[in-house]
């Protein structure tokens, strides 16, 4: 267990007439270290994501953490919390207005255009993992630096792709041991078909303005659909009677949604239709969905979401390109894995331990260690420890099958004492034969264990 150390401030030092800044030994608020004890969960998530990406034909893409600010502000939209309150934006020394990425979709769309991916065979499937940044109030499971993974498909409008990305999301969660999964799904139509709906929505919210908390009233004219995202009891009561986007879809969007639901039924994916689901970003069109895990008490834990973003590529100056994708918050996945006691990654265990005593033995051990590792055998060691007894105790705790011992005499004779940890027997082996000896010995040990 790693002991938590209370943060300390280093005293300022006088340098001529200037003072050095205080050194605060703690992370910035909203940031955190991912310590070795948590890494097996992260490794398990990475392993599952990479496997599913390969299975479904997704190619990995990594975009920069820093982009020009309008790469995000234009598609995400004014009136959203991300743009108005949460972006880390600053001007560089060269005068560029940039931002730390608050999400991945806009960056991936920019890369799609910049690198001419539109000429590739469709559909184009891209997968990414990495940190994103939002200046939000830190709370359980929500950091200002957090990690996301995203799966995006470009170039196809068919609703079967919408169903496929939801299928991928479901498979990822099942593979992580998260089984009580539920999708909320809705259609918000196209930008064009929403014009009439937004007119009706504004009229409705104007009539209920007195019941809407003051901090949300500006959204009535600026971005009325954002009121559905407000986590406020009064807003939720007003929204319950609001016109629903699903009732004002154009025919193509209605047919698209109908076919999507048929695919979801065929896949037997657990979903409910939520007519008030709009997601928090302006770039979504038609299909939108969110992904939850439910506990024994019926409480929902948000894990991610996605939808269609058919207009971003064209908005950025590219040719019209339909697209669908989803993202998971990896921090949320790991919280849920811990909650349900899901399996975490088990690192391969060493089968051989190398012990040494004396300076010459250390030199010989380094070379032999490398030779055995290069032969594909995982070796543990304690090169910095002087006591042979301590090293052998460590080998016993690791549960290795074979311990190789080099002392001063063995170093001079160019031999190794090989101790079988299962039988307690030991023999002396020439250093030049040690790799073959180890491989043969471990093979025999495996047969012995299998026979039992």
Predicted local distance difference test score (pLDDT) of residue 430: 93
The winner for highest mean pLDDT among 325-329, 386-390, 437-441 is 325-329
Predicted local distance difference test score (pLDDT) of residue 5: 46
Bridge-partner residues for 18, per DSSP? 15
| Contact (CB, 8 A) for 178 and 333 | yes
Q: In terms of Cα–Cα distance, which of 170, 188, 190 is closest to 274?
A: 188
| Contact (CB, 8 A) for 357 and 388 | yes
Q: In terms of Cα–Cα distance, which of 256, 208, 255 is closest to 234?
A: 208
Strand order across the 97-100 sheet: 66-68, 97-100, 89-91
Q: How far is CA 359 from CA 150, 290, 384, 392, 417, in A?
A: 51, 61, 11, 18, 17
Question: 352-446: same fold as 39-193+249-339?
Answer: no
Determine which helix (DSSP H) or strand (DSSP E) holds 101, and give its type and residue range.
none
Asked if residue 422 has pLDDT above 60, the reply is yes
Q: In terms of Cα–Cα distance, which of 368, 365, 419 is closest to 392?
A: 419
Q: How far is CA 86 from CA 9, 29, 145, 149, in A?
A: 29, 14, 11, 20
* DSSP class of 246: G
Using one digit for the tens of pLDDT, what is the confidence trace for 197-223? 889 999 999 999 999 988 888 888 888
Asked if residue 10 has pLDDT above 60, the reply is no
Please give the model's pTM, rounded to 2 decimal places. Answer: 0.85
Cα–Cα distance between 335 and 140 in angstroms, integer?
A: 9
Q: Does domain 352-446 have CATH number 1.10.3430.10?
A: no
Confidence of residue 2 (pLDDT cuts 50, 70, 90): very low
Q: Does domain 39-193+249-339 have CATH number 3.30.930.10?
A: yes
Residue 200, preceding peptide bond in cis (omega within 30° of 0): no
Cα–Cα distance between 287 and 267 in angstroms, integer?
A: 17
Percent of the chain with pLDDT over 70: 92
Asked if residue 34 has pLDDT above 80, the reply is yes
| Contact (CB, 8 A) for 108 and 152 | yes
| Contact (CB, 8 A) for 196 and 233 | no
Residue 243, by phi and psi: left (phi above 0), alpha (psi -120 to 50) or beta?
Answer: beta
The two structure tokens encoding residue 311: 């207009």
Predicted local distance difference test score (pLDDT) of residue 225: 87
Using one digit for the tens of pLDDT, what is the confidence trace for 161-189? 999 999 999 999 999 999 999 999 999 99
Q: How far is CA 299 from CA 288, 293, 302, in A?
A: 21, 8, 10
The two structure tokens encoding residue 405: 């011992």
Q: Which residues contact 245 (CB under 8 A, 6 or more apart)?
A: 186, 187, 188, 189, 194, 197, 225, 275, 278
Place of tokens 């969007």: 253
Q: In terms of Cα–Cα distance, which of 184, 142, 362 is closest to 272?
A: 184
Predicted local distance difference test score (pLDDT) of residue 385: 65
Cα–Cα distance between 412 and 391 in angstroms, integer?
A: 21
The two structure tokens encoding residue 434: 């040690």
Predicted local distance difference test score (pLDDT) of residue 46: 96
The region of weakest confidence among 73-87, 93-107, 134-148, 235-249 is 73-87
Predicted local distance difference test score (pLDDT) of residue 378: 92
Give domain limits for the chain.
39-193+249-339, 352-446
Asked if residue 1 has pLDDT above 50, the reply is no
Residue 95, by phi and psi: left (phi above 0), alpha (psi -120 to 50) or beta?
Answer: left
Using one digit for the tens of pLDDT, what is the confidence trace for 297-311? 888 899 999 999 998
Residue 79 CA neighbour count, 13 Å, CB half: 19
Q: Looking at residues 418-440, what average pLDDT do you find?
A: 89
In DSSP notation, 65-90 reads SEEETHHHHHHH-TTSHIIIII--EE
Q: Mean pLDDT of all residues in the chain? A: 89
Using one digit for the tens of pLDDT, what is the confidence trace for 75-89? 877 666 777 778 899
| Contact (CB, 8 A) for 313 and 205 | no
Using one digit for the tens of pLDDT, what is the confidence trace for 393-404? 888 888 898 999
| Contact (CB, 8 A) for 158 and 149 | no
Place of tokens 């207005």: 97
């Amino acid at each position: 267990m790693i002991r938590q150390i209370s943060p300390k401030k280093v005293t300022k030092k006088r340098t001529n007439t200037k003072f050095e800044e205080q050194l605060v030994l703690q992370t910035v608020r909203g940031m955190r270290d991912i310590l070795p004890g948590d890494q097996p969960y992260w490794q398990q998530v990475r392993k599952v994501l990479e496997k599913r990406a390969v299975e479904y034909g997704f190619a990995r893409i990594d975009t920069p953490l820093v982009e020009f600010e309008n790469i995000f502000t234009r598609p995400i939209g004014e009136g959203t919390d991300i743009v108005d309150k949460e972006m880390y934006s600053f001007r560089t020394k060269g005068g560029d207005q940039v931002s730390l990425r608050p999400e991945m979709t806009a960056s991936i769309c920019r890369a799609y255009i910049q690198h001419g991916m539109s000429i590739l065979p469709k559909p184009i499937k891209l997968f990414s993992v990495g940190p994103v940044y939002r200046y939000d109030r830190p709370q359980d499971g929500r950091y200002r630096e957090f990690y996301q993974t995203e799966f995006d498909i470009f170039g196809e409008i068919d609703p079967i792709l919408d169903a496929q990305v939801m299928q991928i999301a479901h498979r990822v969660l099942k593979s992580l041991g998260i089984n009580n999964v539920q999708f909320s799904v809705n259609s918000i139509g196209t930008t064009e078909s929403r014009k009439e709906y937004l007119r009706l929505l504004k009229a409705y919210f104007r009539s209920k303005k007195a019941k809407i908390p003051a901090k949300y009233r500006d959204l009535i004219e600026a971005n009325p659909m954002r009121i559905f995202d407000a986590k406020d009891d009064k807003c939720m009561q007003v929204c319950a009677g609001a016109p629903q986007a699903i009732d004002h879809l154009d025919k193509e969007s209605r047919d698209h949604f109908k076919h999507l639901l048929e695919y979801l039924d065929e896949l037997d994916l657990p979903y409910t239709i939520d007519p008030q689901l709009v997601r928090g970003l302006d770039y979504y069109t038609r299909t939108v969905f969110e992904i939850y895990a439910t506990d024994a008490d019926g409480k929902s834990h948000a894990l991610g979401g996605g939808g269609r973003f058919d207009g971003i590529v064209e908005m950025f100056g590219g040719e019209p390109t339909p697209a669908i994708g989803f993202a998971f918050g990896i921090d949320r996945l790991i919280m849920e894995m811990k909650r349900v006691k899901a399996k975490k990654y088990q690192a391969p265990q060493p089968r051989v331990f190398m012990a040494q005593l004396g300076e010459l033995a250390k030199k010989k051990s380094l070379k032999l260690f490398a030779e055995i590792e290069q032969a594909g055998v995982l070796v543990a060691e304690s090169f910095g420890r002087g006591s042979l007894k301590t090293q052998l105790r460590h080998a016993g705790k690791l549960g290795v099958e074979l311990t190789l011992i080099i002392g001063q005499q063995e170093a001079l004779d160019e031999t190794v004492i090989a101790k079988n940890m299962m039988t307690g027997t030991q023999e002396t082996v020439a250093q030049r034969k040690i790799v073959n000896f180890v491989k043969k010995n471990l093979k025999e040990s495996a047969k012995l264990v299998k026979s039992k």
